[in-house]
Each structure stands twice: as C-alpha cells, then as structure tokens.
Amino acid sequence: MAAAVLYMSMSLDGYISGPNDEPGNPGGDGFGRLHAWALAPGGEGFRTAGVAGKLLAEVSSTGAVLVGRRTAEQVDHWGGDHHDRGVPIFVVSHRPPGPLVAAYPLVTYVNDGIESAMAQAKAAAGGRDVLVHGAYTAQRALETGVLDEVQIHQVPVLFGGGRRLFDVLPSHIELDVLQVIDTPEATHIRYRVRR
C-alpha cells in the first residue's frame, strides 16, 4: 500500500531550519548541520552507501511529490524535476502558478485543497510512495488526515532558534514507531500516523 511520507531532518529541539532563513542564506544558519548525515564528506554530493545511502534511495524511489507553494518557489520547483526521475510534482496553492511554471511539465498546481492534491499525487505515483515536502504542508496534511508516515532524521544538536517542523497542530495525534535506525550522525525514526 503506497504511503504519503514526510521526510525531515530535525534538530532535537524540533527545528528544520536555522535562524536568519532568508534569500542568500537558504535554510538559515546551520542548515548544513541538519543535513550533514546525508552529505558525502568533502562536499561531493549525497552519500550513496551505508544507512544514509539506503534512506536517500527510499526518497529517490518515491513516485510523486506533494509540496506547499512556499517551499516549491523557494527552490524554483527543483528545476522542474525533484529527484531526476521524472516524477510529477503537485503544488498546493489557492492562487494560480507564476508564469515561469509553464516551463515545467511535471509541475501541477492544485487549487482545491490538500485532499485533492494528495489524491492526484497518489494516483500519479502508480503504487509508489508520495513524498510530502515542507512544514506547513505537513501540518495541513496531518490536520486533514492525508499523511500516512513521518520519517524523522533526528540530528543530535540543539538549534535554539529557527523554524519548527511541528508548530501548533489542531489536536493530539497518535503515532506508531515503525523503525528506528541508530547512527552517530542521526537517529532515524519512522512513524505511522494513527487514524
């Protein structure tokens, strides 16, 4: 059964971006620290071996992307192709897309809500998982009951400031621990959202 999965690198104190997140400093101060577990030493791209390689391969095997407009625009829709496998990207927004989006055939703006966007993403994913992106979108997906799983890469650091993944949610939500992978770089915990 295909799942809608949120993948997030998070500090122990809950931050997914650091202070001073602005153009020219994307992700804020210390953003690289949050993703060090995934990056090859020496700045040579992503890790391909070990636990990190396996976890990143899972992300690359997803069949569609669901993302909020803020994140999508911040990264220019990943140049039209999120993980270079030609999978469709669904952007949740009440407003029509900007003019440059027409150049990206894989990108679809959905203006009738996150449930509709998720239904389209799951259909397009062809039995593979749907990658959910962005803190705001994750919160709305949780709120509307369309998020199935959460993969947290919990990094042993306290940021003390920045943007938190879980801001105020509408209500108490129970999770089940599906898997814990223990490495010095991060504690990788996968949860199922209970309905």
Instruction: List contacts with a second copy (CB under 8 A).
Output: 12-14, 29-30, 33, 142, 150, 152, 154, 156-161, 164-166, 168-177, 180, 182-184, 187, 189, 191
* Smallest separation, CB 175 to a second copy (Å): 4
Query: Would you say 95 or 195 has its CB closer to a second copy?
Result: 195
Query: Would you say 100 or 180 has its CB closer to a second copy?
Result: 180
* Smallest separation, CB 188 to a second copy (Å): 10
Q: How far is residue 45's CA from residue 22's CA, in Å, rounded to a whole number? A: 23
Q: What is the CA radius of gyration of the chain?
A: 16
* Smallest separation, CB 82 to a second copy (Å): 25
For residue 44, the tally of other CB atoms under 10 A from its CB is 8
Query: Would you say 95 or 172 has its CB closer to a second copy?
Result: 172
Spatial neighbors of 95 by CB under 8 A, at least 6 apart, are: 69, 111
SS (H, E, C) 81-97: CCCCCCCCEEEECCCCC
Token match 């998070």: residue?
10
> What is the DSSP secondary structure assignment for residue 98, as one 8-state letter?
P
Query: Would you say 9 or 120 has its CB closer to a second copy?
Result: 9
* Smallest separation, CB 89 to a second copy (Å): 26
Cβ(74)–Cβ(26) below 8 Å: yes
Query: Would you say 61 or 183 has its CB closer to a second copy?
Result: 183
* Smallest separation, CB 27 to a second copy (Å): 14
Q: How far is residue 190's CA from residue 180's CA, in Å, rounded to a whole number? A: 6
Q: How many residues does the chain have?
A: 195
